[in-house]
Structure 1
Amino acid sequence: MSLREIPYSDPGVPDTRSGFRFLMWLQRRQLRGQLVATWWGTVFMAAIAAMPAAVGLAVQSVADRSGKGLLGAAALVLSLGAVVSAGDSLLHRAAVGNWIDAAARVQQLLSRKAAELGSVLTRRVAAGEVVAVSTGDVEKIGWFVESLARFFAAVLTSLGLIAALMVYQPLLGLPVAVAVPVLAVAALPLLPPAQKRADEQRAKAGRATELASDTVAGLRVLRGIGGEELFLSRYRAASQEVRTAAVRSARMWSLIAAVQVALPGLFLVFIVWYGARLTADGRIGVGELVTCYGCMTYLLMPLRMFEETAMAWTFSKASAKRAAAVLAIRRTTEDGLSHAGAVPGGDLYDPSSGLLAPAGQFTAVVCGDPDAAGVLADRLGGHSPDAAGEPSTRVGGVALDELPLETARRAVLVQDKDPVLLSGTLRELLDVPSSGGVSAERALEAAQCGDVLSVLAQSLRTVARRADGQDRAAENGEAADPMAARLTERGRSLSGGQRQRLALARSLVADPPVLVLDEPTSAVDAHTEARIAQGLRRLREGRTTVVLTSSPLLLDRADRVVFVQDGAAVAAGGHRELLGTDSRYRSVVTRYEPDDGARTSAPRPSASPSPSPSPSTPQAVPSAEPAIEETV
């Protein structure tokens, strides 16, 4: 493993059947790195373990007044010191490499899963949970992977040292051989309650993070209604809960640390007392006592490594389980991908709501609950079912969840209510995968982006203006190319209506077989909206287009209107027809509550489309109040 390979071209297919299997999969993916770290760890610890023997030889040489023996012992100490220094450096390098490898691999897997699922991920898993998995849990998994090599090195050197003590001085080696395993597992009973407290702290921290994210995202709205203090008090309360849980967790870990220090320390006192008695009785020499004391002092280091690995395992087990649960989320539970590569065509049908959008027609969808429109748009795009086992949206009879992700994305394009504009030039914004049937100029014209182009061209002239105030483009009679103008991050230099129209133009350039738009004109004025409705219908002629809206200007241009209430399509027909026959539809579109006795019911639409009324039908179309577009 080389850090130069990160990020990996393919992080692999993880085993997500359980947290343990996921950890073992990570170990197998970096087996070479683990073996290298174990080797250098063994060399490093063996050199440290041999140091007491060298010191014991030096002491014994002094006691025997042997200058030659003292020189040999000094040379041995220097040699072991050099090995310790080199081994420590190389062990640290290998261990940190293993940690980075594991963390980077897990983060790449999580990033790939987020890209695959999109908005589905945060509907299956809380946003705070996703953040916690990609940060804290990744660190704990890397900690365990990194500590495992040092654990094996500590086991090997400890067994070797105990065996050497048993041969060198059985009277001291026997109690050490008995005590070390007991000391190694002494703190294990305290780990489960410590892990439970740590999990409580993590859960509370995740909820506080989610609350903070929601507050920041809605800060403008909160300021508008004066709700900052209310949400600030809620976050303060959540933060105090996290602090209390952290203190409880720290108390348990401090107890574990005290046990790790106290028990080996007491045993070391016993060994010194017992060895001194043996030396006083003449049963062992002074050098042997020093050697055994030094070996026991060394064994304190492997004991702490055992405890550290046990702690890392306790933490990482739960973290790996959570990471595996996120990585195990799939777009579908079906295995058959018989439609790979072929983009299906035909009617768009959502079995969950009964919504039907006939192929090649402009279908408008009115939702009784505005919050349900976004969920319905995602479902129409095949991003995910809302619940396990819910049937997938179908295009031409083919379930989108049965298609490979790339094919499904080519079949249906969904533009949500708040589309994101990435930074870059306008030309780069509109340079998206497309059929090539719609040029950028035609898409911008249909989306009524003329004023946006003027603003961008003016910004170019401002930037290009020379220091003396002259405009070179104006002098030469040239017009600045707005396609070369740069958009700031998320299009913050533009108004809400301008951003919305540029996003619509980008979707039109893609020219997908099925286009789903969620409130594409909510931030524009009525006159611009009317022109957009006309341009959208003209440009998407013969293509399947679904617009979720309650605007009469768009509804009157649709071939077919479907009214969805309580998650089900309850009426279908033309806009003017539904205004006259369904009071529930009329109340949503006109913003007037129906009379108690005036409610009419309409049958659930069938699989066949209802005919659209003639445009000449003498029906009065209620005008929508013009939305005031934001200014730059």
Structure 2
Amino acid sequence: MQIQDLPYPDPGVPDTRSGPRFLWWLGRNQLDGQLRSLAWGLLHFMAVAALPFCVGFAVQAVVDRSGGRLALAGGLLALCSAATALGDTLLHRSAVTNWITAAARVQQLLARKAAHLGAALTRRVAAGEVVAVSTGDVEKIGWFVEAASRFTAAALTVAAVGIGLLVYQPALGVVVAAGLPVVALAVLPLLPHATRRADAQREKAGRATELASDTVAGLRVLRGIGGEELFLDRYRRASQEVRRAAVRSARMWSLIAATQVLLPGLLLVAVVWYGIHLARQGRISVGELVTVYSSVMVLNYPLWHFQEIAMAYSFSRPSAQRAARVLSLERATERSGARVRASDGPGGGPGDAGSTGPGTPGTPSGDLYDPATGLLVPSGLLTAVVCGDPDASGLLAQRLGGHAPQDGPSVLLGGVRLDELPLDVARTAVLVQDKDPVLLSGSVRELLDVPASGAVRPIEALTAARCDDVLDALAQGSSDAADPLDARLTERGRSLSGGQRQRLALARSLLTDPEVLVLDEPTSAVDAHTEARIAEGLRHLRNGRTTVVFASSPLLLDHADRVVLVHEGEVVVVGAHRDLVDTEPRYRAVVTRGTDAATAPDTAGDASDRDGDPRDGRGAATLKPRAELPELVGLEEIEETA
């Protein structure tokens, strides 16, 4: 694989049982590149190691006054120099290729895993860890994969030079052969300490990065409550801990580097001292002494790669472990067993298991049933789910999307377990919109460029989600956008209010037109007037389609065909909103926030998106009857240009 051939058509199935196994798997999958790097490394290191023999041969030729041997030595030196330059150039080229292709393979694997898991990824692994693995850890993993072949070439060169010196000059060769293992392996006792200190540094750096990310993400809130200095002080302390850990780690690595300088120097002193002694006795020639001395000097270069591979492995091992942990994650649906029969739960008879939706061939349709809570969502109806615990409602929403816990039962759609469906079919069948949906940077048109059934047009989705003022605001901020749909969104929609972001995300979800749409608090940051219009638009656009809305706002609940109260993880009552307000105290406590249903205000909105419309009087007695979907002023022009 060359750099210009990236990305890989298929990055493969990694061995994620451990960090070292993952590194070994990467090396095996780049065997061709490793062998090329090894070959060029051997050429380079062997040519460098041959230079002392050429020099010694030339010195001895001068001592013996032999012009022919001196000319031969000059030719050999020129040949070794050319081989050194060629080997170094191509070794560097192949090594960088190995580094980049290994890093690219890991990044492709991570991207594939993120796309495969979807929203479940960040619920099981911190987002900061995913970012750290896909950036810094990827580079460290690529470093070790690349350094392995260079280290192998260096080790083979050191062994060859030691054997060559034994043959060339046994008396001095014994000293070199005895000293080389000590020099090469002396750093091994220090590596565990260096690794622990490096791990501690990375752990502290990760915590500091996470603290910084949380601070930046919540800067708007911090400014509102005056907590900037508090968090800044926390970050200062965290960064100082990182600095101290980095200094401790650097001290250990400097000790390892000093050892790699000291021991070869001592070996060189021993060789020179003993060589002079042998030369004075006439047991070796001057050329042989120069050759052995030069060889020991040159060996410092390949021996340096022993320290590099130790550092590379020390840094890459925890990085590979983190990458393997992320890559080993599976969808809960992939751990399931066999198909559940139609009699295992409501939602369809034997003939329903293979039924498909009208819009997408192969997509199952029918009632949605959650065995864990007993929640039944009839096909084609708008079902509202009320749950007093927001965290529990979020987990239930994700479970309806097929993200069941490892030991929990799977949700059934038309009698078919979602965990038995292929991933693309499951995502076509059920779409879950989280409480905090993400908007990517780009234009509104690009935001709405999502897989969809085609039954819903963008203008219809925007109208139902009441995005007229959002488009106006974006168009005013993008003077070069002739069409409001071409207006630009900043990263995560930070220039918009919470309610505006929610409405754009809702429009995107409505446009996909899935068989089952699950919305988790889709209007929690919207003012009362806009929420009422969204409720009307949602019911109109999703008429005849299965829709689940997790909410506690009477404005949404009153538009539902049926309302389900989930208490302590179980369905306790089902009915119409107004009936439940009158007859069910637990339901009334959640919906009216523990106050009288007819007069209590609902404070679920976000003040940043209210337009002066108080939410008082939103109880059951003041709810307006359902109305048809009204047209939004200003969207007719968008439809003409879309």
What interval of TM-score do these two structures reach, taking the shorter chain for normalisation?
0.7 to 0.9
Report matched runs for 1:284-295 at 5 Å: 284-295=284-295
Residue in structure 2 matching 1:418, options 423, 436, 439: 436
- Stretch deviating more after TM superposition (83-92 or 9-18): 9-18
8 Å Cα contact 2:278/2:284 also seen in 1: yes
Q: Does 1:368 align with 2:398?
A: no
Q: Does 1:433 align with 2:451?
A: yes
3-state SS of the aligned residue for 2:212?
Answer: helix
What are structure 1's unaligned runs of at least 5 residues? 465-479, 595-618
* In structure 1, distance between residues paired with 2:263 and 2:470: 74
**Cα displacement (A) at 1:235:** 1.8
3-state SS of the aligned residue for 2:369?
Answer: strand
* Residue equivalent to 1:394: 412
8 Å Cα contact 1:526/1:627 also seen in 2: no
3-state SS of the aligned residue for 1:561?
Answer: strand
Q: Aligned partner of 2:571: which letter?
A: A
Residues 477-512 of structure 1, C-alpha deviation per residue, up to 9 Å, x if partnerless?
xxx754455545544555443333232222222111
Q: Does 1:511 align with 2:513?
A: yes
- Stretch deviating more after TM superposition (300-309 or 446-455): 446-455
Residues 281-311 of structure 1, C-alpha deviation per residue, up to 9 Å, x if partnerless?
0000000000011111122222221232233
* In structure 1, distance between residues paired with 2:457 and 2:122: 35
**Cα displacement (A) at 1:89:** 1.1
* In structure 2, distance between residues paired with 1:197 and 1:593: 57
Shift in CA distance, 422/249, structure 1 to aligned 2, threshold 3 Å: closer
**Cα displacement (A) at 1:458:** 6.8
**Cα displacement (A) at 1:424:** 4.3
* In structure 2, distance between residues paired with 1:140 and 1:492: 33
Report matched runs for 1:443-482 at 5 Å: 443-452=461-470, 463=480, 482=484
* In structure 1, distance between residues paired with 2:133 and 2:447: 32
8 Å Cα contact 1:350/1:356 also seen in 2: yes
8 Å Cα contact 1:127/1:210 also seen in 2: no
* In structure 1, distance between residues paired with 2:215 and 2:453: 40
Shift in CA distance, 622/539, structure 1 to aligned 2, threshold 3 Å: farther
* In structure 1, distance between residues paired with 2:338 and 2:3: 36
Shift in CA distance, 49/195, structure 1 to aligned 2, threshold 3 Å: same
* In structure 2, distance between residues paired with 1:438 and 1:83: 67
**Cα displacement (A) at 1:231:** 1.8
Report matched runs for 1:93-172 at 5 Å: 93-172=93-172
Question: Percent of aligned pairs with the same residue?
Answer: 65
Q: Aligned partner of 2:379: which letter?
A: A
Shift in CA distance, 455/233, structure 1 to aligned 2, threshold 3 Å: closer
- Stretch deviating more after TM superposition (512-521 or 69-78): 69-78
* In structure 2, distance between residues paired with 1:190 and 1:524: 60
8 Å Cα contact 1:553/1:624 also seen in 2: no
8 Å Cα contact 1:521/1:529 also seen in 2: yes
8 Å Cα contact 1:59/1:287 also seen in 2: yes
* Residue equivalent to 2:397: 377
**Cα displacement (A) at 1:109:** 0.9
8 Å Cα contact 2:371/2:411 also seen in 1: yes
Shift in CA distance, 337/488, structure 1 to aligned 2, threshold 3 Å: farther
* In structure 2, distance between residues paired with 1:290 and 1:564: 87
Q: Does 1:630 align with 2:632?
A: no
* Residue equivalent to 2:21: 21
8 Å Cα contact 1:553/1:623 also seen in 2: no
* In structure 2, distance between residues paired with 1:525 and 1:261: 70
3-state SS of the aligned residue for 1:7?
Answer: coil
* Residue equivalent to 2:503: 501
**Cα displacement (A) at 1:159:** 2.3
**Cα displacement (A) at 1:620:** 5.5
8 Å Cα contact 1:337/1:404 also seen in 2: no
* Residue equivalent to 1:85: 85
* Residue equivalent to 1:545: 547
Q: Aligned partner of 2:508: which letter?
A: R
* Residue equivalent to 1:280: 280
**Cα displacement (A) at 1:523:** 2.9
8 Å Cα contact 1:22/1:320 also seen in 2: yes
* Residue equivalent to 2:258: 258
**Cα displacement (A) at 1:202:** 1.3
* In structure 1, distance between residues paired with 2:336 and 2:609: 48
* Residue equivalent to 1:524: 526
* Residue equivalent to 1:201: 201
8 Å Cα contact 1:552/1:621 also seen in 2: no
Q: Aligned partner of 2:532: which letter?
A: A
Residues 155-214 of structure 1, C-alpha deviation per residue, up to 9 Å, x if partnerless?
222222222211111111122222212321111111112111211111121122112111
8 Å Cα contact 2:335/2:406 also seen in 1: no
Residues 52-108 of structure 1, C-alpha deviation per residue, up to 9 Å, x if partnerless?
011111111221122332222222222211211111111111111111111111111
* In structure 2, distance between residues paired with 1:324 and 1:492: 33
Q: Aligned partner of 2:524: which letter?
A: S
- Stretch deviating more after TM superposition (562-571 or 9-18): 562-571
Shift in CA distance, 58/125, structure 1 to aligned 2, threshold 3 Å: same
3-state SS of the aligned residue for 1:283?
Answer: coil
Shift in CA distance, 226/483, structure 1 to aligned 2, threshold 3 Å: closer
Shift in CA distance, 335/47, structure 1 to aligned 2, threshold 3 Å: farther
Q: Does 1:231 align with 2:231?
A: yes
* In structure 2, distance between residues paired with 1:318 and 1:290: 45
**Cα displacement (A) at 1:41:** 0.5
What are structure 2's unaligned runs of at least 5 residues? 340-353, 612-642
**Cα displacement (A) at 1:221:** 1.0
Residues 390-437 of structure 1, C-alpha deviation per residue, up to 9 Å, x if partnerless?
333332233323322211110111122233334444444334322222
Shift in CA distance, 76/345, structure 1 to aligned 2, threshold 3 Å: same
* In structure 2, distance between residues paired with 1:531 and 1:241: 52
* In structure 2, distance between residues paired with 1:217 and 1:620: 38
Q: Aligned partner of 1:294: which letter?
A: S
Q: Does 1:323 align with 2:323?
A: yes
- Stretch deviating more after TM superposition (349-358 or 157-166): 349-358
* Residue equivalent to 1:349: 369
**Cα displacement (A) at 1:573:** 2.2
Residues 14-68 of structure 1, C-alpha deviation per residue, up to 9 Å, x if partnerless?
1112222211211121111111111111011111111001111111122112233
3-state SS of the aligned residue for 1:363?
Answer: strand
3-state SS of the aligned residue for 2:609?
Answer: coil
8 Å Cα contact 2:336/2:419 also seen in 1: no
Q: Aligned partner of 2:65: which letter?
A: R
8 Å Cα contact 1:411/1:512 also seen in 2: yes
* Residue equivalent to 2:588: 586
3-state SS of the aligned residue for 1:306?
Answer: helix
* In structure 2, distance between residues paired with 1:131 and 1:495: 26
- Stretch deviating more after TM superposition (496-505 or 323-332): 496-505
* Residue equivalent to 1:334: 335
**Cα displacement (A) at 1:365:** 1.6
8 Å Cα contact 2:17/2:324 also seen in 1: yes
* Residue equivalent to 1:559: 561
Q: Aligned partner of 2:249: which letter?
A: S
* Residue equivalent to 1:267: 267
* In structure 1, distance between residues paired with 2:59 and 2:201: 52
TM-score computed with the length of structure 2 as normaliser: 0.86
Q: Does 1:191 align with 2:211?
A: no
- Stretch deviating more after TM superposition (568-577 or 147-156): 568-577
Q: Aligned partner of 1:73: which letter?
A: A
Q: Aligned partner of 1:576: which letter?
A: R
**Cα displacement (A) at 1:154:** 1.4
Residues 591-623 of structure 1, C-alpha deviation per residue, up to 9 Å, x if partnerless?
2269xxxxxxxxxxxxxxxxxxxxxxxx96966
* RMSD of aligned alpha carbons: 2.6
